[in-house]
Amino acid sequence: MKSHSEMLSLLDAGDPSLYDVVTSGPGPEGTLPLTDDILRNRPSGDAFGMSQDAGMGWTPSETAGPQYVLLSTLGGVRADDGTPVALGYHTGHWELGLALRAAAEEIRRAGGVPYAGHCSDPCDGRSQGSPGMYDSLAYRNDAASIFSRLARSIPAARGVLGVATCDKGLPAMMMALAGLRRMACVLMPGGAMLPPSAGEDTGKIQSIGVRYVHGEIALESAAEMGCHVCASAGGGCHFLGTAGTAQVVGEALGMTLPHAALAPSGQPIWIDIARRSALTLMEMVRRGTTIGDVLSDASVRNAMAVFAACGGSTNLLIHLPAVAFSVGLRRPTIDDWTAVNRRVPRLVSVLPNGPVDHPTVRVYLAGGVPEVMLRLRDLGLLELDAMTVSGLTVGQTLAWWETSPRRTALRALLRERDGVDPEDVIMTPVHAAALGVTSTVCFPRGNLAPDGSAIKSTAIDPRVVDAHGVYCKTGPARVFTREVDAVAAIKGRGDRTIKPGDVIVLMGRGPAGSGMEEVFQLTSSLRYLSWGHEVALVTDARFSGVSTGACVGMVAPEALAGGPLGRVREGDRIRIVIDRNRLEGAVDLVGDAQREFSPEEAARVLASRAPHPDLTPDPLLPPQTRLWAALQNVSGGTWGGCVFDVDAILARL
């Protein structure tokens, strides 16, 4: 506790030299390139903006050049040598200033005037298991609005370059750029972090707590691997989670240059993408092309196909419809997603789904999105006339990629440096099938999920899948209304412990309960504990992109909206059936602790029961997230992308 005199010292430094305050200055040398037209016909803000530009140090005679906006999720404060003065929230936005600088320099060389604005983003990994997660998904809509407002706040801007990397910031950027449909816009993904030469990836490392508690990892090993896991300062996580999948989907939509997603952050090849993205933006302006000319229903269908081929994060089931909505396109439905996943084989072997756990940088070296799209083109699964920001169609881009020196050199590098055959990372359908790889996502229904749910069916542990590709489990419900209590039970704390055979039912964690939190603490525990594959999870929350196992999420309707999941009781018998080949499934109440129910009796029981007595919104749910939950609910809800449909909202008011 500071003394009174010490507290007073905080009010003034006591250095008299600080009081020598300069009260005026000469201003920048030179003159502004004002014209009769600017002063007579254009808004006063145009001329005053030039004054401010000169004041910030721009050469006064160059302030009339074409204006461009550079938006990003940049976070942290770096010294000139790159060391941290103030840390970012995560590695994904730490190095973005390097890309922005390269892009800005390219625009200035061309006579343009670049403006940079930032809306930093949170880290889902950092906020896992805490009330910080209650802001995560709601942040996305807020950030998309801020990016849009920042773009419009440079009224004379010709185009916008968006640079973002991670789980919510990148989807927000994609929504904002799509919503600026009458402007030229280019997306640059923030790339990938390097994995450690030895140790664990950024997905597995997040389960060290539960593995330590169960004696499966020593404290010393956890501390050492935790220190080494982030092997480069920038970029998204090593696995194809939400950040990586959003990068992949952004490229598949045509919003980026080819072979931009998953590039290693900070390296020359990544800086070069920033430079060429700026050139592409200026070329779009010269052609008179807008992002609305690029994005189409065909673009969305191509992105869905690439998502399925890569085995992407289920969070993109929310984000891609939101991007489509932002540009005024039809939002894909559960039926659309089901049809795509039945038609498109999974072809990419990557963390966390395997079958070999390659980090995302290897996917990039194996050819990344263009290589995946080559496979899909040869299967007749792409719409090749869809446009891209480069001015080329998807078909023209793939024709270039197939014979490009870039493709040849990087695939050779993967063989030489890592000893990995690119064909083992981005596989042929025959190769993938021989390894037992199945399609990505299934949408189970049933009496506990009448409006649907989602499971990354390809990620169910093969040890619990029968010879026909069917996962079938019936077990007792272990009911929780707070994630923290479920995690404690997995860790064996208290008198409610989880054991093999249980079905964890986590209710009240949808939009109205927790902002639809991400419950990676639970799913990572089940993924990496030696016995976790024998436990299932059913919840109205959502999952991290790295989640694997028999985990059914996004159950609809959510429990707090009257969904039957909220009527499950401790000890109820829950049956989960997932056919990984036919992509069909169901989640049903089939009995209580004493006996089994017929389907008709189960329906009567669910209809007659009151909601679980502990089912309430989380008391720490922020009011801003409560508002988000209400607004997105009348705008199409989870399957509609959790967007704000202004017309639908106004119609309810």
Task: Tell which residue, 309, 373, 577, 556, has the closest CA to residue 448.
Answer: 556
Q: Is residue 544 annotated as a catalytic residue, yes or no?
A: yes
d(CA 473, CA 471): 7
| DSSP notation for 201-222 | -TTGGGGHHHHHHTTSS-HHHH
d(CA 346, CA 603): 36
Which residue is catalytic, options 72, 544, 547, 635? 544
Q: Residue 10 carries which side chain, given as an amino acid letter? A: L
d(CA 557, CA 563): 5
Please name the residues in contact with 168: beta carbons below 8 A apart, sequence gap of 6 or more. Answer: 121, 122, 124, 136, 137, 139, 140, 143
Query: Which backbone phi and psi does 209 adopt, to 5 degrees?
Result: -65, -50
Place of tokens 């190769």: 431
Instruction: Mark out the alpha helices in 517-583 (DSSP H runs).
Output: 520-528
DSSP for residue 66: P
C-alpha distances out from residue 210 to 62, 207, 294, Å: 59, 6, 46
Q: At what angle do helices 623-633 and 136-152 cross, to 10 degrees?
A: 80
Side-chain-side CA neighbours of 464 within 13 Å: the count stands at: 25
Place of tokens 């007073």: 8
Pair of tokens at residue 317: 């089931």
Task: Tell which residue, 311, 305, 336, 332, has the closest CA to residue 321.
Answer: 332
Question: How many other C-beta atoms can be found within 10 angstroms of the C-beta atom of residue 272?
Answer: 14
| 3-state SS string for 9-21 | HCCCCCCHHHHCC
406 and 397 Cβ atoms separated by less than 8 Å: no
Residues annotated catalytic, as ranges: 544
